[in-house]
Amino acid sequence: MSERPVLLEVEHLEAGFGSQPVLHGVSFRVYQGEVAAVLGLNGAGKSVTLKTVGGVLPAWAGHVRFEGVDITKMSPEKRVALGMAHVPQGRQVFPDLTVEQNLRIGAYVLRRRDLRRYASALDGVLGRFPVLAKRRNQPAGTLSGGEQAMLAVGRALMSEPKLVLVDEASAGLAPIAVQSLFETLREVNRSGVTILMVEQNVTFTLGIADRAHIMQQGTIVYDGEVASLDQERVASLLGIGRLLGRSVAAAAEGRRGATNGKSARPVAKKKAPAKPRAKAASTTRKRKAT
């Protein structure tokens, strides 16, 4: 994965609300063509990271680079023009506008740059989401939660982005809708669009992500390719326990299969204590004692 060019680089990013800091030097990279996930407990700073990368919140310090260009001070509109799109938390569709009108809003930069491309962009999104095509003249507020999530993703794709930021897209959705949404995101990625997503749903996320960045208290504490993640460490950092920890192992195994068994190179912090080894040794001693 690291052989791919870097599309997005976040370096020592600091941000917050008012005088309250939330991010304390966040650094990570997103490689072209991958699905990267930012995971963490509530309050870790995941959504703030995504909002700062997208320009919705100003950065207090640090840098955000997109294709090598420093966009730290750029407006969200200019970031969209460069090839970045945002699926906001809560989906935030316009309920009184039709499906097509919502999609049209997503293409405002595209229409201003090249109006002739709007029709083909609209056809492409409606072709990708047949349910939206059927409901193109229906008010967005009458759609189900899963359909609104698809509309939010489709609206982001209307600008023909290189990178889509997806903020908690599965929140409040039924499991079957979550599965459908993640399959959609997988297909979007396979079409060549890079995805950076923030999620609470660890199981589904690790099923499609190539790389995971785990946050605690406003900083990245562990990251690496999903195929090489230490399942015990991930489960401990995310507080998901043994049962869900098995899903981490299953996801890692699945990603290893998807990459044809290529060895991964995690970029975990070198100074991190080897907690899993210590636990394994302790367990062995207890078994011998019994």
Residue 181, phi then psi, degrees to nearest 5: -65, -45
Name the band, by pLDDT with cuts 50, 70 and 90, for residue 158.
very high
Residue pair 232/37 in contact (Cβ under 8 Å)? The answer is no
Q: Is residue 31 left, alpha or beta, with left meaning phi > 0 and alpha meaning psi from -120 to 50?
A: beta
Q: What confidence tens digit (pLDDT) does each residue in 117-149 have?
A: 889 999 999 999 999 999 999 999 999 999 999
The per-residue pLDDT of the chain, averaged, comes to 85
Instruction: Answer whether residue 7 shows pLDDT above 80.
Output: yes
Residue pair 70/90 in contact (Cβ under 8 Å)? The answer is no
Architecture of domain 6-95+162-176+189-289 in this structure = 3-Layer(aba) Sandwich (3.40)
Instruction: Answer whether residue 166 shows pLDDT above 80.
Output: yes
Name the band, by pLDDT with cuts 50, 70 and 90, for residue 288.
very low
**What does the pLDDT read at residue 188?**
94
Token pair belonging to 252: 């890692």
Token pair belonging to 155: 């609206």
Q: What confidence tens digit (pLDDT) does each residue in 174-205 have?
A: 889 999 999 999 999 999 999 999 988 888 89
Residue 195, phi then psi, degrees to nearest 5: -125, 130
**What does the pLDDT read at residue 219?**
97
In SS3 terms, the chain reads as: CCCCCEEEEEEEEEEEECCEEEEEEEEEEEECCCEEEEEECCCCCHHHHHHHHCCCCCCCEEEEEECCEECCCCCHHHHHHHCEEEECCCCCCCCCCEHHHHHHHHCHHHHHHCHHHHHHHHHHHHHHCHHHHHCCCCEHHHCCHHHHHHHHHHHHHCCCCCEEEEECCCCCCCHHHHHHHHHHHHHHHHCCCEEEEEECCHHHHHHHCCEEEEEECCEEEEEEEHHHCCHHHHHHHHCCHHHHHHHHHHHHHHHHHHCCCCCCCCCCCCCCCCHHHHHHHHHHHHHHHC
- Segments making up each domain of the chain, as ranges: 6-95+162-176+189-289
Token pair belonging to 42: 């509530």
Instruction: Answer whether residue 278 shows pLDDT above 80.
Output: no
Q: Give the pLDDT mean for 266-290.
A: 42
Residue pair 157/86 in contact (Cβ under 8 Å)? The answer is no
Instruction: Answer whether residue 267 shows pLDDT above 60.
Output: no
Residue percentage of the chain with pLDDT more than 70: 82
Angle between helices 241-258 and 231-238 (to 10 degrees): 130
